[in-house]
Amino acid sequence: MPSQPFRARHVLAALVVACAFTSGLAHAMDAEQGIEQALNAALQDKRGITLYVNGQAISGAVTRIEPGRWVELRNQQHGRILVRLDRIDGIAAP
């Protein structure tokens, strides 16, 4: 049977892991909200934006946003580009 200090260390370690996990989720939600805010600003200002998706850069003008789902872009090469919001790694906006 484990000693009391050994058991307390396990409980403390479990609490630290749980706090780190929930903190990570909060930061992920903040990042997703920040991405959506930047996309909305680009849509309103009619400015170009560069999305970084899985190591690729996709540049274009935001034409439509489905909140929480996807963004539609267009550029000189393609008339319509759909990108899922959960796939976006980063954004560069002027």
Q: What domains can be seen in the chain, in order of their start residue?
A: 4-92 (2.30.30.100)
Whole-structure pTM over 0.85, yes or no? no
**Tens-digit pLDDT profile for residues 11-60:** 555 545 444 544 444 445 577 888 899 899 999 998 899 999 998 999 99
Would you give the DSSP letter of residue 29? Answer: H
